[in-house]
Structure 1
Amino acid sequence: MKHTLQLFSGVIIALTSCVITSPVYGAELTSQTIRGLVIDAELGTPLPGANVMMVDPAMPKGAVTDKNGEFRIEDVPVGRVSIRVSFIGYEERHFSNQMLSSGKELYIEAQLVQKIDQIDEVVVKAHGRKDKAINDMALISARSFSIEETERFAGSLGDPARMVSNYAGVMTQNDSRNDIIIRGNSPMGLLWKMDGIEVPNPNHFGASGTTGGPVSILNNNLLTNSDFYTGAFPASYGNALAGAFDLRMRPGNTNKHEYVGQVGFNGFELGAEGPFVKGYRASYLVNYRYSTLDVIKKLGFDFGTGAAVPEYQDLTYKIEVPTKKAGTFSFIGMGGISYIFFQHDTVSNSYNSGSIDTKFGSGLGLTALTHTYIFSEKSRLKTSVSGQYSNSYTSLDSAITDVGNQPLLKPYLRNNLMSNTFAAHIDFKTRLNTRNTFGIGTSSHLTRVTFTDSATFDSPDGHFLPRIDINEDVMLIKSFVEWKHKLNNSLSLYAGLYSQYFDLNNQTSLEPRLSALWQASNKQSVSFGFGVHSQLQPFVTYFAQSFDSSLHRYILTNAQVKFSKSNHYVLGYDYLIAPNLRVKAEAYYQNLYNIPVSRKEPDFSMLNAGDFFYIPLYDSLQNKGTGRNLGIDLTFERFLSNGYYGLLTASVFDSKYKGYNGKQHSTGYDGGYVVNALAGYEWKLKSNNFLTFDIKMVISGGKRYTPIDVDKSKEAGDVRYNWDRAYGNQHPYFRADVRFGYKINGSRANQEWAVDLQNVTNYENVFMEWYNFETNQTELITQTPFYPMFLYRINF
């Protein structure tokens, strides 16, 4: 704690010094440009002639969008700015308190909703919700978020996944990973998308079949406002049980070249953007990062990996080429590699047992070409082709001592899980009239899986036995149709149908989706949603094999495993107390069925897999498991205004499952409750500089785990669990994070200095239970202790 207080004091002194010694720019008013795009919310078609005005009596500036829906407002003083966007026949949209910095033009994409032409009708006009989903088909359990929030919230570290854990219905259980647990579901139930392209796992150290990891490959410097769904999502999203993350990458600046340099949690970073040719609308956007955790380790701070140091790097880019008649072509790419070596030690950590040598690595590559063609102001067609590469590999060796008490490594496990996917997608959307919008789409995903996995722990002679050895092509075909009908300007109805087909076992699923939104008054709305959802198992599950003694060969026993399924019901209420203050409540019930379970391990369920660096391998799985999640999510939010914001979310929920034996247990994600409290304040210093302070506290039921049976483990020489108390142990979780920041706006560049104090109270949260083979006793492993994370960024 003494070390914490010393660092805390040092941070205050350092930031104060920056304020005192930084240049004073008050003598010269620094200005910048606001640029952006105004489009139809349902179709994405440009709206030429829209009015964009500054909401500031002292700054009566504005612009009118050109034929491409684009606008520019130049010579705007830096700082917080607000604009109003309007267009005849559309609802007005406000963008409040956007940060305009001197080193980078501010990009705003305004999506306007068309009004219904009605005569002699009293129109209930809702105040523009700042968190309204970008996808206008989403009527419930969806919200948009700004990329600024991924940095503003303490503890988020610029990671969208860590940021959304502050929202109601979402929690994390592991400080060392960014897994998203939605309403008691496994993080495996999350769908990731980038610019409409599905991404398997956009994280470093991401294992095959999982959706999270310790460090995100996603780069928030390249993203724009995006959507996050927590259930009952529209039919355009599928193959997911829990939720969806629909991220969007912004286009590069088409008018000037801009650059960014950054050092922070995600690494040393360099980025550039700009036009290929001045005066032509084609642009590029590229960013490269390399890990910095080696530096943090040398400073003496522990981030939960013991003596091991994670190594990673990534590259992200986007090229956008508009044409006069052939539509717009967009090329995106994202790739990352990571590696870590845990050498056996006397102390376990959040990732590794003290008696195991572990080598783990992963790789991800994605490239895609998207073509958008606008037939008219009422119809558009989007097609895309993409290629993806995903790989993870693991090497485990048990550290034992020989008769001479010398260390000896015994081979334990080897695996290499690689997949290559080629996908094609087509999506057509049209507005039939002001009341009806129709969409249809289909996609095909062809994947070559090359999996090898072998272990010695089931071998009588200590030799490796193959658990998986496969090289196979599989195909998933997905389709959807959706329709939105506006009865009037207050009541909207949505109906959709999603289907998917998996050729490995000829499984098909048809899934209806329904939702409704009633704008009861200017400030109140009620919503309802229902959806049937299904999800493939991780590919590695289908190819687990066992030896058939009668056939004298290995056979696949999981190839016929069906989709996991769920029915999701949600009822919501939203009340806008004031333009910047609102309260929201959602109650939900989710029934899960067709869940793979194991006869050999009757308390096992796939509902509990997906939050670590591997997917449990069991053969002969059967779709006889069930589960259910129910709860209430509450949100009280004050949006940023007059320099400060606040967010209070609370969720009370119950998550249960039944395995092969029919016994009901809490799932591994049944935290029971979670409360998040966040607040922040921003001081404007002189004319151009800002000092920021943000704090976050979270209290929850904590991570559940199954206790170890010490006697059976000692007898077997391997870990054995007490499955009669499956996921029965739990310790309360508490964490507080604090962030200080200082932003300096110069005449040509802006700088930002920040420090994020993670777990500032150094509270020891229990992570899990390990079995110590040296002492034949169990040990409680705690999560990440206090550590600081520094950030420096310059835009020019």
Structure 2
Amino acid sequence: MGQNVLGQSKLLKVSVINDQHQGISAHIVAGALTAVTDSTGTALLHLSPGRYLVTISAVGYSGSSQGIVLYSDTTIAFVLQKSTTQLKPITIEADRILQLNQMSSHLLSIEQMKKLPTLMGEIDPLKSITLLPGVKNAGDAGNGIYVRGGGPDENLVLMDGITVYNPTHLLGAFSIFNGDAVKNISVIKGGMPAEYGGRLSSVISVTSREGNKDSLKFNGGIGLISSRLTVEGPLSKGKSSFIISARRSYIDQLARWIAPDSIGNNGYYFYDVNAKLNIELNAANSISLNFYTGRDNFNYDKNESTDRYRHFKANWGNTLAGATWKSQISRKIQQELSIFHNSFELGSSITYNTDGILFSSGLVDYQVKNDWMYLPSDRLKLKAGWQGTWHQFKPGAGSTSAGEQEFISKINKQYGREAAGYLSADWDISNRLNILAGLRVSYFDQVGPKTDVVYGKDGVPTGKTIAYKKGQRIAKYMYPEPRLAMRYLFDRETSIKLSYTRTVQYLHLATTSAATFPSDLWVPVSRLIKPGVADQVAAGFFKDFSKGYEFSAEAYYKQMDNELEFMPGAQLLLNQNIESEMIFGTGKAYGLELLLKKKTGPLTGWIGYTLSRTERTFAELNGGKPFPYRYDRTHDLSVVANYELSEKWTFSGLFVFSTGNALTMPNGRFVYNLGFNFSNDSPIYTNINRYGKINDYRMPAYHRLDLSATFTPNPESTRRFKSHWILSVYNVYNRSNPYFIYIDVDENKKTIQGKQVTLFPILPSISWNFNF
């Protein structure tokens, strides 16, 4: 207990990290006050001047205490060591899930992700969250994430608060998030807090870790397809730090080394660089600077003969930069001010002999946001804030050439201003009942310069255009987005939660493919393109059992309006009249999500199961009747297990099963006579497929087993240099999971049949990781 003296209260900043210098969730006791650290492992306490004993405890770590004399604003740091015994009095993770009024959310730390079997040894935060109920991916190499019936563009993907528009490498096989630079990843599927908006389905937030404030450290790894290196250390010991992490694949280099004659200049590689700088100005103020850049590069050349030449080249990537100032203004007030920039760019070229096509597109954002929190009492927490974003869309510019003739096509750039303000109240009405209510008001207007095509009532271009000057308003939208959540505690181990959320989305992804490939285009709302709107209700039951078990069950229903699709055969690239290709409809999704977790002991893991249904309805499609969304999956199961055999050996395994994706297949084919070829005296025929209902066919079920083992040769070594090996096997029983199905004609048997394309067979891998 502190011995208080008279005087104004002082700020005590407590930082808690583990032996890997990563912030962790911990419980802090200082005198009569208690606190829980945030996602960075930091907590702020306002205390009267005097002597205090500060005690720290955290699940899975040995506790620690330190006596201090507090006469001015002070910062202290604790480094906790892992413990082989489970702490009894504190269960931080369970407290957060059961007692906080936030449902439909999950958080995975990098320690949990490192234990999961991986594809080719690459830790992947995006792939990790698809093992949770209600979160699905497009398949083995699909980079789309589908949350509770939403599309791949309906997820707000953030890296340290900065929006990421294309979060994958290798067309979805890997994410852009380097595991060595990541601290954790969280996903919110429902009950979205008022500070988030702009997407209909979810918030996927990746937090990068801070550098070591004590000493210079190096870590990295060498895998089969890529290597990575991270350097981190203090700028001012105990107060500021930096971290730089880089990764590059070397598929191209290995291929050229193994087969230089046949590979030539062909190849593919990706790279990314993360950098973060944290500066503590004083106990109440800190600044963080973030930077990321990454690129994918693909090149294909083929000389078929002396007069035939094929060439394809594509490169795409993201650049992110941000600065954030955090300030504890008083005991009850704190604020956070951020400035962000992000861009996504794509360039590609295709050449065949003397004919060629060039294409480029992109998107640039500039954003300012400011968030405030006010604590008028221990039972009430108020939040308010605003944000503004300037969008610049580059829908496409390109050229085609045929011999000596060149045709240049340039789609007009588009500009948009997006803004939002919010206010929320988190109120403990009693020790059992908590209400979280919020209102977000969002705004978007499309502005010039731009030349718009004029469409008739039938949706066909009239041939007329309207020219808008710079800054002139073209279309304006404003929507209120109410949020409401309730939590009731039956006891410390049992709670129920209810939530209602309305979300609005002003950007759409123009795609006719099954996943978000780099050729896809982001387009803003306009006079013809309306914002997407979703209303979701959810109810959940949460129970924490003894011996480290935790269970949750959530049911949800979501209604979506102004869902966007394209007419079959729509031309997206270099189409000045792209809006005429769009159709709008509604969607609905509902389901039940179950999750059982075991968090303590040598065997840990979880079992997740989702029973769900997702539909779309468009007047122009399927006779106006509802049809299953392409990623409607009735059943989705994931089983994850980690077993710590000893300090040297840890084993992990995961099994996934899901209903096959829905797709449209022809139910017949007929031959159509196009005319007569007089050069060889023969008729010209073509085959035309006949289709019935949309998405009335199911691919075979997807299921896969992955295993991995981690070997640490000298776990008790006191030397600075440490290393471990990871051996993993992807798709252990060599399941031929479908990537897509196409129609083929057997000319000999005169039959038509569907053929399945599979991407990944059984894939063993090994990687070596080190730190010093």
If the length of structure 1 is used for normalisation, what is the TM-score? 0.74
**Could you give the per-residue CA deviations for residues 164-208 of structure 1, whole angstroms, max 9, x where no partner exists?**
1111112223201343221222122111122223222332256xx
> Is the alpha carbon distance of 1:345 and 1:560 closer, same or farther for their aligned partners in structure 2, counting shifts above 3 Å?
farther
Query: Is 2:726–2:766's contact at 8 Å kept on the other side of the alignment?
Result: yes
Q: Which AA in structure 2 matches 1:62?
A: S
Whether the 8 Å contact between 1:705 and 1:769 is mirrored in structure 2 is: no
Q: Does the Cα contact within 8 Å between 1:283 and 1:320 map onto a contact in 2?
A: yes
Structure 1 residues 672 and 381: CA distance shift in structure 2, 3 A? same
Match of 2:470 in 1: none
2: CA distance, partners of 1:614 / 1:779: 32
**Structure 2 counterpart of 1:62:** 65
Say which of 131, 154, 158 aligns to 1:189.
154
The letter for the 2-side match of 1:589 is: Y
Output one character per residue of 1:90-118: Cα deviation in whole Å (capped at 9) or x when no partner. xx8546xxxxxxxxxxxxxxxxxxxxxxx
The partner residue of 2:107 within 128, 131, 144 is 144
Q: Which AA in structure 1 matches 2:596?
A: F
Give the Cα–Cα distance (whole angstroms) in 2 for the partners of residues 557 and 519 of structure 1. 42
Instruction: In structure 2, give the amino acid aligned to 1:678.
Output: V
Q: Is the 8 A contact 1:47 1:68 kept in 2?
A: no
Tell me what 2:174 maps to: 215
- Does the alignment pair 1:335 with 2:283? no
For the pair 1:495 / 2:437, whether they are aligned, the reply is yes
Amino acid at match of 1:417: S
Instruction: Report whether the alignment pairs 1:565 with 2:533.
Output: yes
Which range moved further: 334-343 or 427-436?
Answer: 334-343
Q: Is the 8 A contact 2:358 2:400 kept in 1?
A: no
> Aligned pair in 2 of structure 1 residues 336, 218: CA closer, same or farther (>3 Å)?
same
Pick closer, same or farther for the CA change 1:482–1:785 going to 2, 3 Å. same
Show the counterpart of 2:138. 173
How far off is 1:591 after superposition? 0.6
Which residue pairs with 1:368 in the alignment?
322
CA–CA distance in 2 between the matches of 1:342 and 1:720? Answer: 32
Deviation at 1:579, TM superposition (A): 4.6
Question: Which residue in 2 is equivalent to 1:678?
Answer: 640
Letter in 1 for 2:360: N
Cα offset for 1:465? 8.3
The whole-number CA distance in structure 2 between the counterparts of 1:340 and 1:53 is 50
Paired letter, 2:102 = L
Q: Is the 1:137–1:484 Cα contact (8 Å) retained in structure 2?
A: no
Q: Does 1:659 align with 2:618?
A: yes
Q: Is 1:628 equivalent to 2:588 in the alignment?
A: yes
Residues 49-68 of structure 1, C-alpha deviations (whole Å, 9 max, x = no match) = 641148899x7753468855
Indicate the residue corresponding to 2:488 in structure 1.
518
- Mapped contact 1:142–1:229 kept (Cα < 8 A): yes
Q: 1:774 to 1:663 in 2, by over 3 A?
A: same
**Pairwise mapping of residues 72-221 of structure 1 onto structure 2 (< 5 A)?**
72-73=78-79, 76=81, 80=84, 94=91, 128-129=93-94, 132=97, 139-155=102-118, 157-205=122-170, 213-221=172-180
CA shift in 2, pair 1:42/1:130, >3 Å: closer
Partner secondary structure for residue 619 of structure 1:
helix
Judge conservation of contact 1:320–1:330 (CA < 8 Å) in 2.
yes
Contact 1:182 1:242 in 2 (8 A): yes
- Where 1:148 maps in the other structure, the secondary structure is helix
Displacement, 1:769? 2.3
In structure 2, what residue type is equivalent to 1:517? R
The runs of 5 or more residues in structure 2 that have no matched partner are 1-17, 29-34, 47-51, 447-474, 512-523, 675-684
Output the CA distance in 1 between the equivalents of 2:175 and 2:220: 18
2:59–2:90 contact (8 Å) kept in structure 1: no
Please name the residue that 2:213 is paired with: 254
- Matching residue of 1:795: 771
Aligned to 1:263: 222
Counterpart of 1:756, as a letter, is: S
> In 2, distance between residues paired with 1:722 and 1:223?
49
The alpha-carbon deviation at position 570 of structure 1 amounts to: 0.6
In the alignment, what sits opposite 1:16? Answer: none
Amino acid at match of 2:338: S
| Matched-pair contact (CA < 8 Å) for 2:163–2:342 | no
Residues 371, 73 of structure 1: CA spacing in aligned structure 2 closer, same or farther, 3 A cutoff?
A: closer
- Quick one: which amino acid aligns to residue 153 of structure 1? L
3-state SS, counterpart of residue 132 of structure 1: helix
Q: Is the 8 A contact 1:452 1:469 kept in 2?
A: yes
* Alignment CA distance shift 1:42-1:145 (3 Å): closer
Measure, in 1, the Cα distance between the counterparts of 2:376 and 2:760: 54
Partner residue, 2:55: 51
Question: Quick one: which amino acid aligns to residue 639 of structure 2?
Answer: A
Match of 2:654 in 1: 696
**Aligned Cα RMSD in Å?**
4.1
Q: SS where residue 227 of structure 1 aligns?
A: strand
Query: Are residues 177 and 47 of structure 1, via their aligned partners in 2, closer, same or farther at CA, if it must alter by over 3 Å?
Result: farther
Label 1:55 to 1:583 Cα distance change in 2 as closer, same or farther (>3 A): closer
TM-aligned CA deviation for residue 41 of structure 1: 6.2
- 1:82–1:581 Cα change, 3 Å: closer
Instruction: Tell me the distance in 1 between the aligned counterparts of 2:503 and 2:59.
Output: 43
Distance change (3 Å), C-alpha of 1:263 and 1:369: same
Deviation of 1:310 (Å): 3.0
How far apart, CA to CA, are the structure 2 residues paired with 1:762 and 1:588?
35
- Of the three residues 467, 478, 482, the one matched with 2:420 is 478
Seen in structure 2, the aligned counterparts of structure 1 residues 465 and 55 have a Cα distance that, compared at 3 Å, is closer
Conservation of the 8 A alpha-carbon contact between 1:492 and 1:516: yes
Matches of 2:379 and 2:95 in 1, distance apart? 24
Tell me the matched-pair count: 663
- Cα distance between partner residues in 1 of 2:686 and 2:113: 42
Change (3 A) 1:216 1:715: farther
Structure having the higher Rg: 2
Name the CA shift for 1:643/1:448 in 2 (closer, same or farther; >3 Å).
Answer: same
> Aligned with 1:693: secondary structure?
strand
Residue type of the alignment partner of 1:190? N
Q: Which 10-residue stretch deviates more, 583-592 or 764-773?
A: 764-773
Identity among equivalent pairs (%)? 19
Alpha-carbon distance in 2 for matches of 1:616, 1:674 = 41
Q: What one-letter code is carried by the residue in structure 1 that aligns with 2:207?
A: R
Paired AA for residue 47 in structure 1: L
Shift of 1:785: 1.5
Shift of 1:682: 1.0
> Which has the larger share of strand?
2
Cα distance change of structure 1 residues 231 and 772 upon mapping to structure 2, 3 Å threshold: same
Q: Is the 8 A contact 2:722 2:770 kept in 1?
A: yes
Distance in 2, matches of 1:316 and 1:33, equals 18
2:132 is paired with a residue of what secondary structure? coil
1:532 pairs with one of 502, 513, 534: 502
Q: Which residue of 1 aligns with 2:755?
A: 779
Higher relative contact order, chain-length normalized (CA < 8 Å, sep 6+):
1
Q: Distance in 2 between matches of 1:286 and 1:495?
A: 40
**C-alpha distance in structure 1 between counterparts of 2:765 and 2:577, whole Å:** 36
Contact 1:526 1:574 in 2 (8 A): yes
Q: Secondary structure at the match of 1:162?
A: helix
Superposition deviation, residue 295 in structure 1:
7.0
Distance 1:300 1:592 in 2: 52
Residues in 2 aligned to 1:148 and 1:534: alpha-carbon distance in whole angstroms: 34
Q: 1:281 corresponds to which letter in structure 2?
A: K
Alignment of 1:12-31 (within 5 A): none
**Matches of 1:709 and 1:434, distance apart in 2:** 65
Contact 1:42 1:137 in 2 (8 A): no
Answer whether contact 1:82 1:94 (CA < 8 A) is retained.
Answer: no
Against the structure 1 CA distance between its residues 535 and 40, is the aligned structure 2 distance closer, same or farther, given a 3 Å change threshold? same
- Secondary structure of 1:232 counterpart: coil
CA distance in 1, matches of 2:390, 2:256: 45
Flag structure 1 segments of 5+ consecutive residues without an equivalent: 1-30, 85-91, 96-127, 207-212, 347-354, 400-407, 542-555
Q: Distance in 1 between matches of 2:581 and 2:297?
A: 32
- Alpha-carbon distance in structure 2 between the residues aligned to 1:139 and 1:428: 19
